[in-house]
Structure 1
Amino acid sequence: MSRNALSGTTIAATAVVLSLGLTACSSGDGGQVGVDAKQTLTVWAMGEEGKRVADVAKKFNEKHPDITVKVTPIGWDVAHQKLVSAAAADRLPDMAQLGSTWMGEFIDLGVLEPVDTKAFKADDFFPAAWKGGEKDGEVYGVPWYVDTRVLYYRTDLAKQAGVTKAPETWADQLALAEAFKKLDTTKWAFSQPAGGQGSWQNWAPYLFSAGGTIMDKDGKLALDSPEAVTALTEYAKYFDKGLSKNTPAAPGYDVIKDFGGGSVPMFASGPWMVQNIADQAPQIEGKWAAVPLPAGKQPASIIGGADLVTFESSEHKAAAQEFTKFLTSTTTQADWYEMAKSLPANKNAWDEPALKNADVDVFKKALNSAGEIPPLAQWEQVAHEIDVTLEKLAKGGDPAALAGRHTAAA
């Protein structure tokens, strides 16, 4: 899951690769190049990260002058198809950035090199980020950066509505939305997705907060569990009470304009919204707050971001490991935050001045309580089913019946 786009997985394209029997298409298992040899390391990176990581690589070259890092920037909108096609043609780079929800698919394709867990320690990373790349006892990706979800709300309008304390529980959040609804300026008290692509990201924290999981202990989908029904029931309250719009948002909708104008005084989203609000709605500086998502049974959010992976076919695995170490080191992670405002996956980087002096504590709390998105090969299909469920829920669908439909989808 990236900040710029969902993975855009094409299940049919994946099936083509699987049907070709392309597992470990290595061209160089027996010809590995040592880390001290003169070589070129090819890296694919997506979105804004792809444009910036080449600059970071220059610092890496100061310590490893014999390793030339060749970075190819790729747009998120075409990245998945490009990777699938490259796997089919046995033309993958040495390493790449993968959206966290892509991990399960590419693990199943058999094209990823397992991570050396002596070189990278699970305890250095947020647990949910590390587990997102782990399957059957092997780890296939090293978390690079993370994102999560928190609650944004207008504190000035909350005060006008008679609420002076930040919401901490589901009941608090619902009460605040109902108070917002009474204001003349309010159109929708809470911007909560009524289905549509990616809406699962707003519902999953309810599931985790209710004590539920995506998968059960037997590795089966658990989206028909009692906890899932509780989460759907709580999510539905905002539509049933007219607090949230019960149809999906129009393509390209940006909540910040309505948030700044006061017509939508509350929404849940990721850390990038802090800068977006400052840039697009400077008139409300000091009049809003970001707080951890209010809790049901327990505090919870979700974790997203990107992993760094090395492909099994690479002849430069030692160099790839060194570059991955460099990108996920405490110092580089802090530098990357200053450059890209991406939250470090390495927990130790949060003690660096760049993070200590930033107002990011709310995101650290959210990351520490984040639920795990498991590395499922067909995660996008599951995510789509959740999105469809939420659209039906917003139109008055029964939570228990809608939870049950996921059993058939599995």
Structure 2
Amino acid sequence: MKRQLIGGSAAALALALALGACGSGDDDGGTAGGDGRGPITFATGKDLTGTIQKLAAKWNAEHPGEKVRIVELPEDGDQTRQQLVQNAQIKSDAYDVIRLDAVWTAEFAARRWIVELPEAPLDPGTFMATALETGRYRGKLYAAPWLTGTGILYYRKDLLSAAGVKEPPKTWAEMFAACDKVRETPEGEGVDCYAGQYEKYEGLTVNFAEAVQSAGGTVFDAAGKPTVNTPQAKAGLQFLVDGFKDGAIPGKSITFKEEEGRRHFQEGRLLFHRNWAYVYALASATDGSSKVNGRFEVAPLPGKDGLGSGTLGGNNLAVSSFSKNKATARDFITYIVGLDTERAYGLEQSFPLSRKALYDEPAMLKKYPYLTVLKAGTERAKPRPVVIKYNEVTAAIQEHVGAAISGKKSVDQALTDLQTALSGLTD
């Protein structure tokens, strides 16, 4: 999913970290604001399609005494987080419902900036299980999953067909072999092999985590200890480093975020591309903006020895501890993440949603044929670490992985330094 709140996307890492100190989160924060009913605000990202406004208008028509006002936050995820944190630190009641990147849930819950949600009205069994877990902190639900998803592989089916390649790759070796075959065809001249997101931002953390997971490793183990000093982690980083070294991953992509890669693929200059589901609609455009409309398909991410594992992305909805109208805020969240509302939202834009049933509905599948692939990938995806110091963790990954793919450090040195840095953040 395109990162509107986190970047890579839209929007992902490994197994959940054991949580550090910094507040128990057991207190629902209710003393900071009232549990009343009345008008509320919904702090969210840019409403690019106007769909959220439509859904809010429907709520307002049915709840004239509890109307919601949409407040659009910055598109940049770091700026959004900073704005939300600043409001929470001064205990502002400016926002009632807040849209969080899934990885922020632990921090906001631990610092008692959001309140625990009752699960029964949300019908938790009907969510994608992996998405639901991103809303939990120490076993309790603090945020309802709304948008979810993981990285998928976009590929040029026309170029593979011209080169005699009948199936999308399941392994890295198969992918690079397919690139070699395509390069030998007239149609493949000037087309780069593969790219993801490698600029030093959240997307690099996501791509590194996916490479490690797709080699059978983890960035953190189940006990919350960093595990980037393993053969599997080395294989994952080596995949990226070797790709840059031999040109399979074009050198220019070291500056790619989601949009740079999306444009490179959409302009017909990339054979394989790792990105989020939002790309599908843009690459399928028939207005002349896409040169690959009707020429591409999607598949699960490949891995070292078989299909890979993506990183779970997503946005969750939570109630601010400082809201005066928490009862209305909870009901509004239940409405927004409800099956009917998610369906209406999903038919207007291509961000993947959290309710399982939508991935199998004929109307949704007709509009978004990639949903079958996305559902399978999301079920295999791993979450980023549920850790209060996530910003420091992702910064360390970006620093040391970035040094490796740019040739400033060897793979072994980068992982040794990263292991040390992460150990210092999770002790």
TM-score band, normalised by shorter chain? 0.7 to 0.9
Partner of 1:15: none
- Kindly tell me: are residues 28 and 195 of structure 1, through their superposed partners in 2, closer, same or farther at Cα, counting changes over 3 Å? closer
Question: Any idea what the Cα deviations from partners look like across 1:216-265, whole Å, max 9, x if unmatched?
Answer: 22222333333322211223331232211346226896334543454322
Partner of 2:350: 341
Letter in 1 for 2:206: Q
Partner of 1:355: 364
Q: Give the TM-score of the pair, scaled to structure 2.
A: 0.82
Describe how 1:149-298 pairs up with structure 2 within 5 A: 149-182=151-184, 185-186=189-190, 188-197=192-201, 198-246=203-251, 248-249=254-255, 254-279=260-285, 281-296=289-304
1:140 corresponds, among 133, 139, 142, to 142
Which structure 1 residue ranges, 4+ long, deviate > 6 Å from structure 2? 250-253
- Kindly tell me: are residues 85 and 287 of structure 1, through their superposed partners in 2, closer, same or farther at Cα, counting changes over 3 Å? same
Counterpart-to-counterpart distance in 2, 1:364 and 1:251: 24
Partner of 2:327: 318
Partner of 2:89: 88
Instruction: Work out the percentage of aligned pairs sharing the same amino acid.
Output: 22
Partner of 1:128: 130
1:143 Cα deviation from its structure 2 partner: 0.4
**Match status 1:389 vs 2:400:** yes
In structure 1, the residue corresponding to 2:175 is in which secondary structure? helix
1:302 corresponds, among 287, 300, 311, to 311
1:309 Cα deviation from its structure 2 partner: 0.4
Partner of 2:68: 69
In structure 1, the residue corresponding to 2:241 is in which secondary structure? helix
Letter in 1 for 2:278: W
1:345 Cα deviation from its structure 2 partner: 0.6
- Kindly tell me: are residues 113 and 214 of structure 1, through their superposed partners in 2, closer, same or farther at Cα, counting changes over 3 Å? farther
Partner of 1:60: 59
In structure 1, the residue corresponding to 2:120 is in which secondary structure? coil
1:63 Cα deviation from its structure 2 partner: 4.2
Partner of 1:32: 35
Aligned-CA RMSD value: 2.9
**Match status 1:399 vs 2:411:** yes
**Which sits farther off after the overlay, 41-50 or 110-119?**
41-50
Question: Any idea what the Cα deviations from partners look like across 1:106-143, whole Å, max 9, x if unmatched?
Answer: 22322110121233344322232222222222221110
Counterpart-to-counterpart distance in 2, 1:155 and 1:352: 25
- Kindly tell me: are residues 236 and 316 of structure 1, through their superposed partners in 2, closer, same or farther at Cα, counting changes over 3 Å? same
Letter in 2 for 1:286: G
Counterpart-to-counterpart distance in 1, 2:208 and 2:406: 16
Letter in 1 for 2:119: T
1:57 Cα deviation from its structure 2 partner: 1.8
Counterpart-to-counterpart distance in 2, 1:281 and 1:164: 28
Question: Any idea what the Cα deviations from partners look like across 1:142-176, whole Å, max 9, x if unmatched?
Answer: 10111321111212222333322211223212222
Question: Any idea what the Cα deviations from partners look like across 1:162-207, whole Å, max 9, x if unmatched?
Answer: 3222112232122223334445623532124444222222232222
Partner of 1:14: none
Partner of 1:409: 421
In structure 2, the residue corresponding to 1:356 is in which secondary structure? helix
Aligned 8 A contact 1:155 1:288 in 2 = yes
Aligned 8 A contact 1:132 1:374 in 2 = no
Counterpart-to-counterpart distance in 2, 1:192 and 1:28: 43
Counterpart-to-counterpart distance in 1, 2:29 and 2:115: 11
Which runs of no fewer than 5 residues in structure 1 stay unpaired? 9-17
Aligned 8 A contact 1:104 1:378 in 2 = no
Aligned 8 A contact 1:47 1:75 in 2 = yes
Q: Give the TM-score of the pair, scaled to structure 1.
A: 0.85
In structure 2, the residue corresponding to 1:111 is in which secondary structure? coil
Which runs of no fewer than 5 residues in structure 2 stay unpaired? 9-21, 423-427
**Which sits farther off after the overlay, 316-325 or 245-254?**
245-254
Aligned 8 A contact 1:180 1:186 in 2 = no
